[in-house]
Homo-oligomer: A and B are copies of this chain.
Amino acid sequence: MPTEVTPVPRARAADELKQAALEQFATVGFAGTSLQHIADAAGYAKSSVLYHYGSKEALLEAAIEPAVEGFEAVLEEFLAGRGSGRRRTLVDRVVDLLLLHRQAVHVFLIQGPSLSELPIIARANVAVRRLAAAVCEERESVEDQVRFGIALGGAAFLLTAGRTFADEQMIPSDDELRDALHRIISEILTPVRTTGN
């Protein structure tokens, strides 16, 4: 009689529910996700969701807070540092965060406008605005804003909803994605330097 049934029961339920909620939030949206669906997806009762997280909003906060904190940390690191490789390092870190927290990013980027009354979303929106200012630096032309928006929103789209439109047999690995994302985003954020080259 091996004990293989539940070898690692550590914080099982809370994390399972959080992950199920994150997937629903990123696909159907926060308003369109019901606690019942989250509970069903994770194999629990609706009451259990409200036991581990006091409310639907608290669940959202727990689900995306790590991602927001990641962006804030990367931003602080960039603002505190100096040197020539700063921008490159920033793009590096941001791409890693996008890959690691793709669902959370999708939530507070796409649904940020409609959920800005929630404290955690407001925090995320502030972080994104500061990131935009950092990337565009002092040159705050319209084109720079557009470049930043396309790069960030495009990456968020690609990593979640975009998978639906790709060929099924062509699912790139995260390493491939990281490589391509870093190259393309750097290219987008670096204004045209003689494309003919």
Contacts and interface: CB of A to CB of B under 8 A. Distances in A.
A170 interface: yes
B166 A145 contact: yes
A164 B110 contact: no
Contacts of A158: 146, 149-150, 153
Interface in A100-135: 109-114, 116, 125, 128-129, 132
Interface in A167-186: 167, 170, 172, 176-177, 180-181, 183-185
Which of A129, A143, A154, A155 has most chain B Cβ within 10 Å? A154
Copies in the assembly, this chain: 2
A37 to B, nearest CB: 10
Interface residues of A, number: 56
A150 B192 contact: no
B150 A157 contact: yes
Contact of A187 (B30, B110, B128, B195): B195
A142 B172 contact: yes
A157 B149 CA distance: 7
Given A32-B32, A142-B180, A195-B192, A150 B161 contact: no
A186 to B, nearest CB: 9
Given A149-B166, A192-B195, 7 more contacts: A29-B29, A31-B33, A113-B161, A116-B164, A142-B172, A153-B156, A187-B187
Interface of A: 27-33, 109-114, 116, 125, 128-129, 132, 140, 142-143, 145-147, 149-158, 161-167, 170, 172, 176-177, 180-181, 183-185, 187-188, 190, 192, 195, 197
> Lowest 5 A-B CB distances belong to which pairs?
A153-B157, A31-B32, A154-B154, A150-B154, A29-B29
